[in-house]
């Protein structure tokens, strides 16, 4: 569902997240807004056709602020959104910019009370001397209203920019991570958090790595993982110590000396880490690859998939235009059998872990027409070109897919490209194409 107006920087989507049932999909943008899409119910005329996603609610989550102590402007850009498991009819989500996390409650109203004894229809108090009889107020139907209200504001917990938030499986706590520290919060307490990881050196000149992402284990509330700019993953157990600076497991792939170059450290930085739904595996994305790690094997990943290996010869120009620092996300499908991640030229990649097949697809205006079938794309490096192939030299590095999400149970994916949100659905089967 791409938008057709001229994009402004504020409209650029910065995060995409399905809720736990997949019925709602939230996006955040650089202008501090959150847009929630709801899946329409199946139509009675065509019972097997799945509902489309339509705008459910839009609200301003964050505003630009100014840090007077550091003379820095704090952007309103939404870095991450996380849904809380649903406890009642209302929905709740956490959204964060660089510094402040907010808890929002989303409720529906389709009835309004009428017939108050002490108030008139406009809500003003009546003159008590005119009240001669008592009546029972009644609920009358009204047009559906979606109300979004801020429930908590979790501020002042981070000196550096927040890069991730993750809700714990205990449904009571969540963590937030910045470049050097990870904090644990209780969802009901806003004025304090517990610092559970602190990698800040006593002398900042000794700083060699930063935290890039973190996530709680989906089933064990004591376990979490965080990734670093040096390409390593650290699994921590909160039962072991209050401060988890000593990790329980370190996942790191030994570097191949033959591949060593000036860019090795930059391209090995992990931009995203996601536990599988089963909790057995972890998925990581670095600049050129996605890797699957088994929690029981620290020495090396069990699977490595090349996302765009044809860029290896272009690293110098990608360094000069800063693209080498782009942070791509990755996602699992509902059964952990297929993984997805974005690339340049509005391409995104899917890898089937069972068949070892992979496919490159493109999010574009043409592919977003109703019932359009996505055609696989191929990038060629020199030599003979097949028809429809695209040359590596003609890739557009300004068009990139950094943010992706996969429906928790079905083959529905959401892909953000600049100010456009594309939702693709596999109507036929459960294959990756």
Residues 274-316 pLDDT 10s = 999 999 999 999 999 999 999 999 999 999 999 999 999 999 9
What pLDDT sits at residue 40?
87
Mean pLDDT of successive 10-residue stretches along the chain, which has 433 residues: 62 96 96 95 62 92 87 92 94 96 92 79 78 81 86 94 97 97 97 95 92 98 96 95 88 83 92 97 98 96 96 94 96 96 96 95 78 80 74 91 96 94 73 35
How crowded is residue 190: how many other Cβ atoms within 10 Å of its Cβ?
18
pLDDT of amino acid 298: 95
Distance CA 92, CA 172 (A): 13
- Alpha carbon distance 284, 290 (integer Å): 6
Residue 229 structure tokens: 């700019």
- Detail the DSSP E strand segments found in 178-256: 181-186, 194-198, 211-216, 223-228, 233-237, 249-251
Answer for the pair 421, 27: CB distance below 8 angstroms, yes or no: yes
Query: How far is C-alpha 48 from the geometric centre of its chain's CA atoms?
Result: 29
- Select from 251, 269, 433 the least CA-distant residue to 338: 433
In whole angstroms, give the CA distance from residue 269 to residue 286. Answer: 6
């Amino acid at each position: 569902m791409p938008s057709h107006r001229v994009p402004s920087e504020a409209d650029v989507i910065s995060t995409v997240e399905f809720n736990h049932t997949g019925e709602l999909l939230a996006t955040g943008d650089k202008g501090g807004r959150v847009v929630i899409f709801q899946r329409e119910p199946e139509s009675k005329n065509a019972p097997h056709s799945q509902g489309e996603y339509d705008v459910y609610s839009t609200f301003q989550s964050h505003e630009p602020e100014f840090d007077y102590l550091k003379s820095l402007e704090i952007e309103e850009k939404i870095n991450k959104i996380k849904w809380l498991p649903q406890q009642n009819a209302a929905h709740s989500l956490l959204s964060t910019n660089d510094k402040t996390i907010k808890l929002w409650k989303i409720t529906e109203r389709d009835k309004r009370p009428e017939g108050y004894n002490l108030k008139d229809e406009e809500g003003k108090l009546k003159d008590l001397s005119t009240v001669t009889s008592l009546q029972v107020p009644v609920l009358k139907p009204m047009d559906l209203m979606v109300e979004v209200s801020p429930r908590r504001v979790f501020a002042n917990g981070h000196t550096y920019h927040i890069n991730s938030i993750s809700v714990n499986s205990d449904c009571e706590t969540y963590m937030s991570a910045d470049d050097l520290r990870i904090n644990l919060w209780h969802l009901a307490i806003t004025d304090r958090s517990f610092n559970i990881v602190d990698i800040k050196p006593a002398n900042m000149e000794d700083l060699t790595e930063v935290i890039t992402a973190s996530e709680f284990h989906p089933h064990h509330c004591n376990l979490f993982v965080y990734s670093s700019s040096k390409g390593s993953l650290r699994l921590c157990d909160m039962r072991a110590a209050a401060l988890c600076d000593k990790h329980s497991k370190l996942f790191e792939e030994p570097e191949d000396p033959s591949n060593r170059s000036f860019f090795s450290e930059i391209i090995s930085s992990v931009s995203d880490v996601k536990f599988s739904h089963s909790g057995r595996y972890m998925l990581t994305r670095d600049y050129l690859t996605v890797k699957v790690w088994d929690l029981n094997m620290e020495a090396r990943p069990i699977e490595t998939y090349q996302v765009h290996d044809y860029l290896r010869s272009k690293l110098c120009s990608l360094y000069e235009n800063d693209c080498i620092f782009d942070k791509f996300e990755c996602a699992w499908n509902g059964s952990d059998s297929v993984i997805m991640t974005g690339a340049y030229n509005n391409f995104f990649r899917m890898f089937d872990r069972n068949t070892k097949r992979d496919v490159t697809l493109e999010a574009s205006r043409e592919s977003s027409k109703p019932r359009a079938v996505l055609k696989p794309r191929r990038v060629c490096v020199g030599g003979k070109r097949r028809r429809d192939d695209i040359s590596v030299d003609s890739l557009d590095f300004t068009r990139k897919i950094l943010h992706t999400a996969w429906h928790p149970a079905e083959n529905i994916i959401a892909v953000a490209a600049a100010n456009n949100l594309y939702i693709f659905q596999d109507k036929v089967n459960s294959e990756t194409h």
